Structure 1
Amino acid sequence: MARVRLSVAERREEMLRAAIGQIEARGVAAVRIADVASALGVSNALVLYHFGSKENLVAAAFAHAAEADLAHLRKILSRRTSALRRLRAAVRWYAPTGPAKGWRLWIEGWAVSLREPALREVTRDLDRQWKAALAETLTEGVAAGEFACTDPTAAALRLTALLDGLAVQMTAYTGAVSRARTQEWVDDALARELGMEREALTAQGAHGV
């Protein structure tokens, strides 16, 4: 059966999705251009034509995954509800106990970015955008008098550092910490940053996050 002719943009997206799948299955170090080409039934030369090298393909694949994550984050933070509820929903989604997928992919990316400048720029940009989105919503909540947070930028950094660290523990060391305890720590951290008691935070969440 003949392959459907794709546009350049469609072909690149197909290759990026295949690369993400191969990275999740094999790890960045083990993935080859040939693996991505084979998964799609195309030649190595075609993949290289679009991306030039494995390093460029990997960086573009992580950027593609990051854009999807950021789009979902912005969707949560743009809901027509209080800043408190939006923040709690975003943190619960991103936390390793939530429905966000791809933690193994991101842990791979962080490790490889220590040696690959192109990938380091991608992961750094994602980190900046995630923190900026959280800080903006924290600022909105303070302005609306919903909670107290003297330094939204620092609060966003502390929250993401905790979530990332817990994700590494839960992904790399099965059973190191329970899901219930992890969720307690996440709620405790968010409540602390907002100057609230955890019971008040969770009660707010029970009314429609």
Structure 2
Amino acid sequence: MTDPAEGPPAAGTAGARRRAVAPDKRTRQPTEVRRRLILEAVVPLVIEHGASRVGVRDIARAAGVSVGTVTYHFGGVREILSEAVSIEIDAYYRPLGERMLACPTAVEGLTTLIEGVFSAETDRHWRLWFDNWAADASLEPDSRQHRRYEEWSDRVAELIARGRDRGEFRCPDVAETTTRFNALVDGLALRRLRGAPPLSIEQARAHLRRFLTGELGLEPSPA
């Protein structure tokens, strides 16, 4: 990937340059700390500029490390982005899965699920995920990301199966319902990011509620 070092300044560049004044302090950082700095720096850059416009030098400046440190730890921007997305997926889905499964009833868990996948904070996750997916569409799926999405799908299925087994709702095929639900979430997220036509957070949630109401035989929510 071409390094767009001569392009627009990366987000947070000014602060990163101040940190870069003291390279001796940077080199004292343990390996995992340096890697984490690099991974954390790439996320806001990609969200602001897009993956295709982020280069190694941009990441180094934002992380407050040298270009050599970046290339020592990673094979390139694609590897950095892939690992950063894996971390983001885990940070996004794991707490949500814990919250929805901790609800007293599966119906309450579904509400937590719907509100969790579309909120004021989730656009960041979706933008990063889709940008990475678009840039890597011709490559093999990252095994870490694939595993995390499978784990997430398992949590959704667990919630639906729990409600079915307790008699809270009906579901002839938990796996199929889970697949359709996740596909609908992905499609709504993409439409929301494209903004054509516009889709608000509440509209996205309403689509999910209608789907689950019909799929699981739930009572419609009051208008």
Question: Which TM-score bucket, shorter chain as reference?
Answer: 0.7 to 0.9
Counterparts in 2 of 1:137-152, with a 5 A limit?
A: 137-152=159-174
What residue identity is the alignment partner of 2:169? F
Q: Number of matched residues?
A: 199
User: CA separation in 1, counterparts of 2:116 and 2:54?
Assistant: 29
What residue identity is the alignment partner of 1:46? T
Greater Cα shift, 109-118 or 153-162: 109-118
- Alpha carbons of structure 1 residues 23 and 86: separation in structure 2 relative to 1, 3 Å: same
What residue identity is the alignment partner of 2:75? G
Matched, 1:173 2:195: yes
C-alpha deviations, 1:160-193, integer Å up to 9, x for none?
Answer: 1111111111111255334443332121012122
The aligned counterpart of 1:192 is: 214
Q: CA RMSD in A?
A: 2.2
Q: Please state how far the C-alpha of 1:116 moved relative to its aligned partner.
A: 2.9
User: CA separation in 2, counterparts of 1:154 and 1:60?
Assistant: 29
The aligned counterpart of 2:204 is: 182
What residue identity is the alignment partner of 1:94? V
Give TM-score scaled by structure 2 length: 0.79
Q: Please state how far the C-alpha of 1:122 moved relative to its aligned partner.
A: 4.5
What residue identity is the alignment partner of 1:167? A
Structure 1 portions without partners, runs of 5+: 204-209
Instruction: Specify the SS of the correspondent of 2:157.
Output: helix
Greater Cα shift, 99-108 or 130-139: 99-108
Contact 1:56 1:118 in 2 (8 A): no
- Given candidates 111, 130, 143, the residue that maps to 1:88 is 111
Contact 2:100 2:108 in 1 (8 A): no
| Structure having the higher Rg | 2
- Given candidates 71, 76, 84, the residue that maps to 2:99 is 76
- Identity, % of aligned positions: 27
Instruction: Specify the SS of the correspondent of 1:102.
Output: helix
User: CA separation in 1, counterparts of 2:178 and 2:135?
Assistant: 24
User: CA separation in 1, counterparts of 2:46 and 2:102?
Assistant: 33
Give TM-score scaled by structure 1 length: 0.84
User: CA separation in 1, counterparts of 2:45 and 2:95?
Assistant: 23
